[in-house]
Amino acid sequence: MDLDRVRLAAQRVRRLHAERAIEGMNRYFDQADLVRREVAKKSRHIPLRELLVRAPDVLMRIAPCWVASPLSVSQLLDGSKRHFDIVVFDEASQILQEEAIPALYRAEQVVVAGDRHQLPPTTFFATAVEGEDEITDGDETDKPVAAIGGFESLLDTLEAFLPNWLLEWHYRSEDERLITFSNAHVYTGRLVTFPSARGQEAIRHILVPHDPALGGQEESASQEVEEVVRQVILHAATRPHESLGVITMGIKHMNRIQAALDRALDLRPDLSDFFAPHREERFFVKNLETVQGDERDAIILSIGYGKTANGDLPHRFGPLTQDVGYRRLNVAITRAKRRMCVISSFSHDEIDLDRSGSRGVKLLKAYLEYAASGGTRLPEAECAGEVSLNAFEADVRDALESRGVKTRPQFGASRYRIDLVAMHPERPGRPVLAIECDGASYHSCATARDRDRLRQAHLQRLGWRFHRIWSTDWFYHREQEIERAIAAYEEAVRLADLSDVDTRPPQATGGAQPMRQAQQQPAARQRGPRPHVPKYETIDQYSDRELRQIAEWVMSDGLLRTDEELIREIFEMLPFERLGSRIRERLKRVVEVVRRHQRTGKWR
């Protein structure tokens, strides 16, 4: 029923939009005619800014939602009026207040979405264009731009006096280990993450050896470049169905990887499809400053910085050493949906925090250690204490284990834990079935949509087989519920044995599919019997009642039409050859009467 509500709500929005567009085209006929002429043109269109001045009412009703960058708003929209009810800023932590003001002037309300732990507005791009790639510890050019009243971005400015909410559920990572580090070190455990059903490796660290014979490795380690190219080629050959991106710390290292990869691909024309630019999530090589907003199935994070010829690590980590450096690393390590590969020429043990104590360097040291452990070495705050089962959940566990089902209670790393996870009988560490009871975690959810549908749907998207046990059924029909759980477990084991663990997890039933259905245009209603249309010689011979019957029959299919479209459809049922002014005026009055009757139920 909830999914039906979502589908019907989408249809209602589409219908309401169409009704308003039709009403606008009827009321402002000259504007509608101008827009139609512009749509029909092949070239030499009126500039959009001028078209919006000449046909504002029709254009805004046809296209009520616009997407534009902050800097293009002044070019597209005249500043003499407020065109929109609401303006929404995404990635607001990267937007300066002066860039946002033009959009704020053109709307009645504002909503900003952003993350203060991700990239702030900087002058890095201007510096990079001038060729000053790497930023030393003493360089001030990468510090946040001085902004209004001490606030560094639009997000900070508006957060100071507007109500704000934290969006806690994390959806991107298909494996919880990909976000657990940031959740613990950056977000203080506030994010709600979901355990993965895959028992595969999600995070790994490749440590390339240091070659003293190679000089000039401080900014870009050559062996690391070669390893990145090797991993990219391997991914394209073995996992072409998964998208891939490479993130580097510096621009120089990024350029070296791109050049080396181009040379390697000249020898592998068979991989051209994977690197084709038309792919929906195409391959990229980007530095830290340009990757915010991107996501890929797999990410290769190449640190790049290397050692001197005598094996010393200079501890010059570019933008990571700045006050906001930890934000850049946080962006980089949260781009992966399925797996992360970290490549470096030094280990976490070689970073001396006495030589560089910035938060970004501390975070890099901790993340290299986390990646080296495969994402199993969780922060102490996450590992401290196990969540205990209540009596109902403990009874379910004991009953299943007495039947030979191995279970792990309170499975997960964040606040959200799966009550019980049944493990594969022959493949240690492989979870196969999520079992949820309506215990404390169920009742802690604020809404029925969360506890009864969304959590289950998201777990299914992550590849889980799901089984729920209701406490009332357990107490009254305990043996039957045990048999149901055993049957669900055996089916989950069978499917796990059949499935290829490298394929993408199945989509949740009722997740994305209803939204695709909501995009379909509703079918027209079936019209009744076609009315008899007398063949008179003039329009004056037709009575109002006869013309109303024709108009009502045309409109009975429920489809939306402009007045002009209705007039033409009614005219096609009449025996006349030409739609003259007298016929048009008469049919126009008939359409107005029928529309008024539909709104009010009255003919006068």
> Letter for the amino acid at 11?
Q
213 C-beta neighbours (distance < 10 Å), count: 5
392 C-beta neighbours (distance < 10 Å), count: 17
Fold of 201-383: Rossmann fold (3.40.50)
Share of the chain above pLDDT 70, in %: 88
Helix (H) / strand (E) containing 563:
helix 563-572
Taking the C-alpha atoms of residue 177 and residue 514, their distance in angstroms, rounded to an integer, is: 30
Instruction: Give residue-wise pLDDT tens across range 393-429.
Output: 899 999 999 999 999 888 887 777 888 999 988 888 7
Helix (H) / strand (E) containing 421:
strand 418-423
Q: How confident is the model at residue 240 (pLDDT cuts 50, 70, 90)?
A: very high
Find the mean pLDDT for residues 537-542: 90
Helix (H) / strand (E) containing 54:
helix 48-54
pLDDT at 517 over 70: no
Tokens of 76: 């597209």
- What lies within 8 Å, CB to CB, of 273 at 6+ separation is 240
pLDDT at 179 over 50: yes
Name the residue ranges covered by the structural domains of the chain. 1-62, 201-383, 391-517, 539-600
Find the mean pLDDT for residues 176-190: 89
228 C-beta neighbours (distance < 10 Å), count: 27
Find the mean pLDDT for residues 536-541: 89
Helix (H) / strand (E) containing 27:
helix 2-27
**Class of the domain covering 391-517:** alpha beta
Find the mean pLDDT for residues 447-457: 86
- Residue for token digits 């030979």? 404
> Letter for the amino acid at 491?
E
Query: What's the confidence (pLDDT) of residue 71?
Result: 84
Q: For 90-104, 322-336, 507-521, which range has the lowest pLDDT when averaged over its residues?
A: 507-521
Query: What's the confidence (pLDDT) of residue 467?
Result: 93
Find the mean pLDDT for residues 200-209: 89
**Do residues 246 and 228 touch, judged by C-beta distance below 8 A?**
yes
**Do residues 598 and 552 touch, judged by C-beta distance below 8 A?**
no
Query: What's the confidence (pLDDT) of residue 230?
Result: 94
pLDDT at 125 over 50: no
- The chain-wide mean pLDDT, for the chain, equals 84
Taking the C-alpha atoms of residue 364 and residue 370, their distance in angstroms, rounded to an integer, is: 10
Share of the chain above pLDDT 90, in %: 34
Same fold: 201-383 with 391-517? no
Q: HEC string of 435-492?
A: EEECCHHHHCCCCHHHHHHHHHHHHHHCCCEEEEECHHHHHHCHHHHHHHHHHHHHHH
Query: What's the confidence (pLDDT) of residue 378?
Result: 60
pLDDT at 518 over 80: no
Q: How confident is the model at residue 516 (pLDDT cuts 50, 70, 90)?
A: very low
Taking the C-alpha atoms of residue 439 and residue 30, their distance in angstroms, rounded to an integer, is: 63
Query: What's the confidence (pLDDT) of residue 440?
Result: 67
Give the burial class of 404: count Cβ atoms within 10 A of its Cβ; 0-12 exposed, 13-18 middle, 19 or more buried: exposed
Q: HEC string of 390-417?
A: CHHHHHHHHHHHCCCCCEEEEECCCCCC
Instruction: Give residue-wise pLDDT tens across range 283-299.
Output: 999 998 888 888 999 99
Q: What is the pTM of this model?
A: 0.76
Q: For 240-249, 338-347, 494-503, 573-582, which range has the lowest pLDDT when averaged over its residues?
A: 494-503
pLDDT at 526 over 90: no
Find the mean pLDDT for residues 184-208: 86
Q: Which of left, alpha, beta for 299 (phi over 0: left; psi -120 to 50: alpha)?
A: beta
pLDDT at 129 over 80: no
pLDDT at 529 over 90: no
